[in-house]
Each structure stands twice: as structure tokens, then as C-alpha cells.
């Protein structure tokens, strides 16, 4: 059945963008505001401009490409991100941005004018892997973090965000919030095992679980690994290991949907025969229920205090990200579901385990997400893969729903020019402009 959009061009662009920052052996590394991210941005902006979109960049580097509608006013926004983690795949985020581009180009190909503008958005630093917090660009876009504070954030490699943004020439001049969205759609891979395990085509995302990122710094005293009796040690390494193990116990103790991750753990001086004087580790806790997430955070704080006392080290913590669970607009979620089913696709509702820009846009307009299956439930892994047929399914849902939301301004005519897209007039004199 399908839609007016076709997956071939989208699949080719996913591969082409995946070449930017490609890792030997597969996967991609385009950490936010790196040179590779800059090159990826240049490629996507080039495609947007070639498609005739009006491209603007705001002060945090968010990119917006707009196809005009016949009526001025808020856009139907289709967005996601093109930055990746260091061992990322070619689909996470990129799929949503490039599918949005495909939708607007397919509208052109079909000669369809829309009432509302359609804007394709690529938000800065969604991953948060290099600069915390995650979903930073969309958070600034919706006014959840002021620009000055964001520009002064320092990365895990010691760089200032504003300097890195300028270094890749994406410190834009467009005012924040310049593009207002009437509705926001984000098409994304599930990044988990649910859809594949159930053989379901489309995930109808009801919301995003709460996220809590904490950086824990433990300070002890370095001394000789052999000559120092255990009773005299201030071993930051042992304390960090005990906390990391304790996170697993807390999470398993709460059970259910609770997840917790110690993704980064650095010891210094980090030598085989030196008791670590310093340890810095990150703890990522998530749960769909805010009260349960807070319970886990309280247990973590108690664990840190207990271990620090037992190992006679000092502990300090810094919150890197903290977002409460977000429920998407019920009516729009229902439209995702109805659109998918009308296309003959199977659906199931679920909450997103991963964070997404949609959870920020949801603060300002109805937002919803479309998920497609991840092979082996893998993401944030160079083996990330979603099958072409699944990508086509999600694109059909996105394209159909986006057109519904934007409203059709004309019957399909041949040869609509970019200049006339805003009026719905045709350049093809033979075309019969039928009332739509
Ligand atoms: O961390 C996340 O959930 C997302 O990948 N930024
Ligand atoms: Mn993502
Ligand atoms: Mn991600």
C-alpha cells in the first residue's frame, strides 16, 4: 500500500551520511560538534538546500529546513539528530532527519502543496555523550536551558561547547525558537528488543522514561600497591568498583522496568601498581515512573556515602542530566497508531527506553514518535541495523501522517515549482488543478 514517499533515496542517504565519521569495520563516530559532526551537518544542509528548503541555524547550532505551505504559521516539524555516540550506528537519529527530508522531497515529486509549512530539524547534541546533558539542542530550543549556560558547557575532553560550535561554523544567527511547531513528529529506531521479539512493524511511542545522569568523583590517596596494608589505604578504585557493583544491586532490587548503567569509569593515575587516588564514574538511572526513579537516586546517594566512609575516601557528585518521564500527546499518539494500521501495519504501544528530542518538543506542541524494529535490539553499537523493509514502513507512516497534519493545499499536479509551492499554482499549463 505505502505512501507517496519511497525508501530508496532515504536508504542511499543513510549510507552516504554513515560514511561521514565512519569507523573502520563499520559503525560511525560523529560526536557532537566534532569535525565529523560538522562534515555531517554540511552534507545534510547541502541536501536540504538542494531540495529548496529555507535553511536556518540557531545559536546552539540547531538546523531547520522549511518547505513553505500555502498558509503562513507554525510548521509541522519532523526532527531528530545527526550526532552519534562514539561507537554508533547509521540509523540512530539520522533516520528521523533524513526521513523528514525524504517526505518533503517526495511531496515535491508528487506535486503536492501543503497548507502548513513542513520543517525538517536536526537538533544539536542529542546524544549528550560528549557534552552533557543529552537532548541539549532541543532543550535550548524550547527554552529549557539558556543559551549562555549551554555554550559554556565543557565536554568530557575539556572543550567548551561554544568554541566547538564556532570551530565547525554552526554558531548560527537565527533566534532561538524562530521556527514554531504546530506538531512534532520523530521517526526513530526502537533501539531495544521489543518490536523485533514480537514481530511488530511499528512502535507507537506513548512517552519517554525519566533519565538521571550522575557523575561521581572519589578522592583517595595514591600509594604503593604492594607495600600499603589494606587498613591504611584510601583506595578510590576499590570504592568506585563497590559503587558500580552497588548500582547493579539497587537496580535489580527495584526490578521491573528499572535500568542502571555505569558507562564510564576512569581511575588515576590508572597504573597497575598504584592505588588509585581518584576515580570518576557516571551512573545512568532510568525508569518510566518519577517516584521510582527518585527512589533509585536516593539509594544511590546512600550507597555512595556508605562506600566512601568504608573506604575512607571523599565523594562528590554532579548531576549531568535529569529529565522526568514525558507522556506524548494522546491524540497524536492515536493518529500514529491509526495511520500505521490504515497502512496495514501491525502496531504496539510502548514507552521509549532512550531519550529523544521529542520529549523536549512535547513541552511546546503535540509531539509523538514512530518506532521501527532494531535487529537484535542493538543500538549505540556499530552493529546497529534496521531492515530496509522496516525503514520503508516507518517512512510510510511518517509521510502519511505529516501530510495529514500539514493539510493538502492542492490535488497532485505535475511540475509544481518551488516558487509556487507556497501558492499551490502549477508551472505546467496542461495540469488540471482539481479542487482537492
Ligand atoms: O541517552 C539517550 O537516551 C539518548 O541516546 N541521548
Ligand atoms: Mn537518538
Ligand atoms: Mn542515541
Q: How many whole angstroms from its chain centre is CA 344?
A: 28
* pLDDT digits 0-9 by tens, 234-245: 999 999 999 999
Task: Look at residue 417 and tell me whether its pLDDT is greater than 70.
Answer: no
pLDDT at 431: 33
More confident residue, 410 or 152: 152
- Classify the phi-psi angles of 189: left when phi > 0, otherwise alpha if psi is within -120 to 50, otherwise beta: beta
Q: Which three cell numbers stand for residue 340?
A: 500505521
Q: Give the ligand at the shortest distance from the Cα of 89.
A: 3
Residue-by-residue DSSP string for 52-92: T-EEEEBTT--EEEEE--SS-S-EEEEEE-----TTB-SST
Task: Look at residue 414 and tell me whether its pLDDT is greater than 70.
Answer: no
* pLDDT digits 0-9 by tens, 348-398: 999 999 999 999 999 999 999 999 999 999 999 999 999 999 999 999 999
* pLDDT digits 0-9 by tens, 179-221: 999 999 999 999 999 999 999 999 999 999 999 999 999 999 9
In eight-state DSSP terms, residue 176 is T
Distant-in-sequence, close-in-space partners of 253: CB < 8 Å, separation ≥ 6: 299
Task: Look at residue 423 and tell me whether its pLDDT is greater than 90.
Answer: no
What is the pairing mode between strands 181-189 and 75-80?
parallel
Collapsed DSSP state (helix, strand, coil) of residue 348: strand
Among 30, 91, 126, 322, name the best residue to mutate to test ligand 1's pocket (greatest count of ligand atoms within 8 A of Cβ): 126
Task: Look at residue 167 and tell me whether its pLDDT is greater than 50.
Answer: yes
Task: Look at residue 427 and tell me whether its pLDDT is greater than 90.
Answer: no
Centre of ligand 3 to C-alpha 331, Å, is: 26
In eight-state DSSP terms, residue 125 is T
Collapsed DSSP state (helix, strand, coil) of residue 129: coil
Collapsed DSSP state (helix, strand, coil) of residue 43: helix
pLDDT at 303: 98
Q: Tell me phi and psi for residue 131, to 5 degrees.
A: -120, 125
Distance CA 37, CA 122 (A): 12
From 3.40.630.10, 3.20.20.140, 3.40.50.720, 1.10.1740.10, which CATH number describes the 7-208+326-433 domain? 3.40.630.10
pLDDT at 269: 98
How many Cβ atoms sit within 10 Å of the Cβ of residue 221?
16
* pLDDT digits 0-9 by tens, 118-162: 999 999 999 999 999 999 999 999 999 999 999 999 999 999 999
pTM (2 d.p.): 0.94
SS (H, E, C) 359-395: HHHCCCCCEEEEEECCHHHCCCCCCCCCCHHHHHHHH
Distance CA 20, CA 311 (A): 46
Centre of ligand 1 to C-alpha 200, Å, is: 23
Task: Look at residue 173 and tell me whether its pLDDT is greater than 60.
Answer: yes
**CATH number attached to the domain at 210-323:** 3.30.70.360
Q: Which atom of ligand 1 is nearest the CA belonging to 128?
A: 6
Q: Tell me phi and psi for residue 374, to 5 degrees.
A: -105, 130
Q: Do domains 7-208+326-433 and 210-323 have the same CATH topology?
A: no
Distance CA 349, CA 357 (A): 19
pLDDT at 420: 47
Task: Look at residue 435 and tell me whether its pLDDT is greater than 60.
Answer: no
User: Does 134 sit in the ligand 1 pocket, CB within 6 Å?
Assistant: yes
User: Does 127 sit in the ligand 1 pocket, CB within 6 Å?
Assistant: yes
Domain ranges of the chain: 7-208+326-433, 210-323
541495523: which residue's cell? 385
Q: Which three cell numbers stand for residue 187?
A: 521517526
Residue 317 pairs in a beta bridge with 216
Q: Which residues of 114-134 are buried (b: 16+ CB within 10 A; e: fewer)?
A: bbbbbbbbbbbbbbbbbbbbb
Centre of ligand 3 to C-alpha 84, Å, is: 6
Q: Which residues of 280-303 are buried (b: 16+ CB within 10 A; e: fewer)?
A: bbbbbbbbbeeebbebbbebbeeb
Q: Do residues 345 and 201 make contact, with C-beta atoms less than 8 angstroms apart?
A: yes
Distant-in-sequence, close-in-space partners of 216: CB < 8 Å, separation ≥ 6: 240, 243, 279, 280, 281, 282, 283, 304, 315, 316, 317
Collapsed DSSP state (helix, strand, coil) of residue 422: coil
pLDDT at 419: 43
pLDDT at 237: 98
User: Does 353 sit in the ligand 1 pocket, CB within 6 Å?
Assistant: no
> How does residue 1 score in pLDDT terms, banded at 50, 70 and 90?
confident
Task: Look at residue 430 and tell me whether its pLDDT is greater than 80.
Answer: no
* pLDDT digits 0-9 by tens, 64-107: 999 999 999 999 999 999 999 999 999 999 999 999 999 999 99
User: Does 360 sit in the ligand 1 pocket, CB within 6 Å?
Assistant: no
Q: What is the mean pLDDT of residues 247-267?
A: 98
**How many helices and strands, by DSSP H and E, does the chain display?**
13, 14
Q: Which three cell numbers stand for residue 242?
A: 563497590
Q: What is the mean pLDDT of residues 302-316?
A: 98
Determine what percent of the chain is predicted with pLDDT higher than 70: 94
Task: Look at residue 425 and tell me whether its pLDDT is greater than 50.
Answer: no
Please give the C-alpha separations between residue 210 and each of 128, 284, 287, 296, in angstroms, as whole numbers: 15, 10, 5, 12
pLDDT at 412: 55
Q: Which atom of ligand 1 is nearest the CA belonging to 85?
A: 5
Q: Which three cell numbers stand for residue 258?
A: 528499572
pLDDT at 2: 87
Amino acid at each position: 500500500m505505502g505512501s507517496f514517499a519511497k525508501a530508496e533515496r532515504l536508504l542511499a542517504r543513510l549510507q552516504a551520511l554513515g560514511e561521514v565519521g565512519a569507523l573502520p569495520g563499520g559503525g560511525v563516530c560523529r560526536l557532537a560538534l566534532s569535525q565529523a559532526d560538522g562534515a555531517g551537518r554540511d552534507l545534510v544542509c547541502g541536501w536540504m538546500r538542494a531540495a529548496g528548503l529555507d535553511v536556518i541555524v540557531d545559536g546552539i547550532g540547531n538546523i531547520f529546513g522549511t518547505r513553505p505551505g500555502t498558509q503562513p504559521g507554525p510548521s509541522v516539524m519532523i526532527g531528530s539528530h545527526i550526532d552519534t555516540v562514539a561507537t554508533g550506528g547509521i540509523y540512530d537519529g539520522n533516520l528521523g532527519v533524513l526521513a523528514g527530508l525524504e517526505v518533503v522531497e517526495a511531496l515535491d515529486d508528487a506535486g503536492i502543496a501543503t497548507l502548513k509549512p513542513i520543517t525538517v530539524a536536526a537538533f544539536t547534541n542529542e546524544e549528550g555523550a560528549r557534552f552533557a546533558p543529552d537532548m541539549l539542542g532541543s532543550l535550548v530550543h524550547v527554552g529549557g536551558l539558556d543559551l549562555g549556560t549551554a555554550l559554556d558547557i565543557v565536554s568530557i575532553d575539556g572543550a567548551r561547547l561554544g568554541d566547538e560550535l564556532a570551530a565547525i561554523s554552526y554558531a548560527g544567527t537565527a533566534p532561538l525558537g524562530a521556527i514554531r511547531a504546530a506538531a512534532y513528529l520523530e521517526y526513530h529506531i526502537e533501539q531495544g528488543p521489543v518490536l523485533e521479539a514480537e514481530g511488530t512493524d511499528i512502535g507507537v511511542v506513548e512517552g519517554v522514561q525519566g533519565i538521571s545522569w550522575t557523575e561521581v568523583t572519589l578522592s583517595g590517596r595514591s600509594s604503593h600497591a604492594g607495600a600499603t596494608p589494606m587498613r591504611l589505604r584510601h583506595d578510590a578504585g576499590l570504592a568506585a568498583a563497590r559503587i558500580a557493583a552497588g548500582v547493579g544491586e539497587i537496580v535489580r532490587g527495584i526490578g521491573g522496568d528499572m535500568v542502571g548503567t555505569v558507562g564510564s569509569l576512569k581511575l588515576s593515575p590508572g597504573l597497575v601498581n598504584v592505588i588509585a587516588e581518584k576515580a570518576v564514574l557516571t551512573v545512568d538511572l532510568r525508569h518510566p515512573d518519577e517516584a521510582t526513579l527518585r527512589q533509585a537516586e536516593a539509594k544511590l546517594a546512600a550507597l555512595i556515602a556508605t562506600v566512601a566512609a568504608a573506604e575512607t575516601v571523599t565523594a562528590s557528585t554532579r548531576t549531568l542530566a535529569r529529565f522526568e518521564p514525558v507522556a506524548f500527546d494522546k491524540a497524536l499518539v492515536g493518529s500514529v497508531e491509526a495511520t500505521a494500521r490504515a497502512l496495514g501495519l501491525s502496531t504496539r504501544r510502548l514507552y521509549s527506553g532512550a531519550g529523544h528530542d521529542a520529549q523536549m518538543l512535547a513541552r511546546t506542541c503535540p509531539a509523538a514518535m514512530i518506532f521501527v524494529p532494531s535487529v537484535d535490539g542493538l543500538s549505540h553499537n556499530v552493529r546497529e541495523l534496521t531492515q530496509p523493509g522496516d525503514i520503508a514502513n516507518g517512512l510510510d507512516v511518517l509521510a502519511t501522517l505529516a501530510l495529514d497534519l500539514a493539510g493538502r493545499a492542492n490535488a497532485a499536479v505535475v511540475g509544481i515549482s518551488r516558487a509556487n509551492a507556497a501558492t499551490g499554482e502549477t508551472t505546467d499549463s496542461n495540469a488540471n488543478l482539481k479542487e482537492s
